[in-house]
Structure 1
């Protein structure tokens, strides 16, 4: 298969893929692959702030709505802003800085559960319908992890807990930089310096500015040995990818 076909095979449909890609309208060319539950809101808010500054504008317009649907005057994303051929060209262009942010798989999965299942968001309803249960059915973290370990289809129900290796097309995209959410400030500082020549990069901490945070610490602390084994069963390729990325970051430090 071609690179295009290989990459598209990672996603449920073409729209899903295009919603993952973000390309700027101005400034140095880059391609950011959005990875849910891996600080994507903070990354996008930071990029938008820098692009607004290039336009000579302030950052007052940045809110949760604009971050999740970036204005076309700043970023192109989704089927209304991008075509697959444009993305393929960007992936082949040596001038384009290709990057993404990943997260330790256990922390990401538990955060997804805390943020999207415990709070009863639409993502929970989608999962319950997939399982043939009422939308408001109770489900524990252990049950959630057991389902993901045994049912690959359940992993694909929502991109917040979907394997990162698929979401960022790790096996097919030649990234210039992959940061770790565990050192988000360091990763964003590197990205902003590279793209915007900023000596002191300003990171948009959306946990403070937009109230964007989840509470998963207690869930992580309460995980059982079986829960951890289910993470390994469900996200073995993600764990392998994360270990590779951590090794590269440590060697570059």
Structure 2
């Protein structure tokens, strides 16, 4: 079976100069001893999977060392020959609408360093309190903004292969655990309760329109272990803008995952 690369033939230049392929390859991680490749996509349980792989590759001893992964994002990036010879490949997709909300609430509202990088993408002409979710979504119509950070960059950009053996979805994470145990004999090390950038353990509020609420007001909710339900961040106009900005991701998700888990079809 030949594993065709998604972006390799988009340019006849040397493959090392093909930026789209190089980006996707750098996010394709080797699980040594299993001859398996996992393409990691930020905001799609990647901390849990990268911790699992770090353990499987003998670099950490248990989940208490999970912070090791943040300085080793590309330690296990696969070579071209390793990608071509892989016996098993997989990735985890996420509803694009939910992923965009997650990136916003995690990186912008929490005033992560990524938030200041987002301001730099606007040439520092905005203040952090200007970045409502409405503003954030509208900005994704500009390719330099949408592609400017890995946490909201389109998921399809991270996929080095045209096809994977398995496409999982974050919305059905239990399937990931079952299949990986059966296919390659690894157990997931779930670090979601240990990280500060997920909605794990938060109460979801679904009785308000949060699309134009200022980040500081949302941060107050977050400090009280509450977050808006993702659907309450959108209105009809923002839904359509997201569909346009992330059309490839939505098409990919609809073709590989059960449409019932897509927030807006």
Match of 2:183 in 1: 194
Any gaps of 5 or more consecutive residues in structure 1? none
Residue in structure 2 matching 1:204, options 174, 180, 189: 189
Asked whether 1:183 is paired with 2:172, we answer: yes
- Tell me the TM-score normalised to structure 1 length: 0.76
Alpha carbons of structure 1 residues 71 and 153: separation in structure 2 relative to 1, 3 Å: closer
Q: What are the within-5 Å matches in structure 2 for residues 1-253 of structure 1?
A: 4=8, 6=10, 8-10=18-20, 14=22, 16-25=23-32, 27-52=33-58, 58-59=61-62, 62-64=65-67, 66-70=68-72, 76-77=76-77, 86=79, 88-93=80-85, 95-132=86-123, 133-134=125-126, 136-148=128-140, 150-169=141-160, 172-196=161-185, 201=187, 203-214=188-199, 217-247=228-258
Output the CA distance in 2 between the equivalents of 1:70 and 1:151: 30
Larger helix fraction of residues: 1
Cα gap change, 1:28 to 1:219, in 2 (>3 Å): closer
Shift of 1:218: 3.4
Q: Give me the whole-angstrom Cα distance separating, in 1, the residues matched to 2:134 and 2:197.
A: 25
Question: Which runs of no fewer than 5 residues in structure 2 stay unpaired?
Answer: 200-221
Is the 2:102–2:198 Cα contact (8 Å) retained in structure 1? no
Deviation at 1:41, TM superposition (A): 0.6
Return the offset for 1:128. 1.3
User: How high is the TM-score relative to the length of structure 2?
Assistant: 0.73
Cα 1:101–1:131, aligned 2, differ >3 Å: closer, same or farther? same
Distance 2:102 2:259 in 1: 25
CA root-mean-square deviation: 3.0
Kindly tell me the number of residue pairs found equivalent between the two proteins. Answer: 223
